[in-house]
Amino acid sequence: MGEFKLIDGRAISESVHLETRQRVAVLKQKNITPGLAFIRVGEDPASRVYVGMKEKKCREIGITSQTHILEKETSGGSLLDLIARLNKDPKIHGILVQAPLPRQLNEAEVFASVLPGKDVDGFHPVNVGKLMLGDPSGFAPCTPAGVQQLLIRSGCPIKGSDVVILGRGNIVGKPLASILMQKSEFADATVTVCHSGTTDLAGHCRRADILIAAIGVPLFVKPDMVKPGAVVIDVGVNRIPDTAARNGSRLVGDVDFEAVKAVSSMMTPNPGGVGPMTIAMLMQNTVRAAEETLLN
């Protein structure tokens, strides 16, 4: 096994942002400024942080953003009315409804109300269907698309690789499986999706050339679950108690990084791996949505 290589999501995301900035400059020469609308319902602390990070990146890249903050008790009708107004606004090219939503709101109905051409999060049923069909005209969800870019830009061969994904969620696991199994240049992998009903989960993991953890369990992946020389991508975001931390807790991934590092050939850190790429792909999708208005 060769020397261990860190897959630096921050550095790779900056290279994506550089490309996106150049595309924004071309659009501005044509009098188009990409516009992205954020909708946040309630005061969930994590949602406030995530939207704030996305707003900051919009400013840096040259995308105009607006944030609509609704009361936690907001009705479905009020939220759908706001989305309908944004759908009609020609200056808004992308709409992102920050999840999770309060219980009284139907997430599936809300995501389906965003126009597919403005659904830069990739959650509309039309975009989900296009992803399954291998139709590149749809928008892919940002985190799975970011994982693929991490693999491509770090020189990890995907074609013919045995990929195991831990987690079958609609935001990461299912769409990522669809992306990596497509018959295309940067895919063509054999993909296994593992979940809570999988028997011999560790055995499946040990077979993987590329192991992707999106299971939501802190430090779940241990060295004995990883094939020597495998590439490991850690998508998990978990908060665990830590008396040494200033606020009494810290963020960790689904992979026991320090222990698995001794077995893996390449691995993402957490934080600083997949997270920055999610924002990078959101910016890229928004600029693409703006570019496509020139074709209509």
b/e code 225-240 from CB counts within 10 Å (16+ = b):
bbbeebbbbbbbbbee
Residue 47's CB is within 10 A of a number of other CB atoms, namely: 18
Residues belonging to the active site:
54, 98, 121
Give the model confidence (pLDDT) of 17-66 as tens digits: 999 999 999 999 999 999 999 999 998 888 899 999 999 999 999 999 99
Give the model confidence (pLDDT) of 124-152 as tens digits: 999 999 999 999 999 999 999 999 999 99
pLDDT at residue number 245: 85
Tokens representing 253 are: 């991934």
Whole-angstrom distance, CA of residue 268 vs CA of residue 9: 7
CATH 3.40.50.720 fits 141-274, yes or no: yes
Instruction: From 272, 270, 131, 150, select the one nearest 210 (Cα to Cα).
Output: 150
Omega within 30 of 0 (cis) for the link into 100 = yes
Which residue intervals of the chain bear CATH 3.40.50.10860?
31-116
CATH number corresponding to 31-116: 3.40.50.10860
Looking at the predicted structure, is the pLDDT value of residue 2 above 80? no
Which residue intervals of the chain bear CATH 3.40.50.720?
141-274
Give the model confidence (pLDDT) of 224-282 as tens digits: 999 999 999 999 988 899 888 888 888 899 999 999 999 999 999 999 999 999 999 99
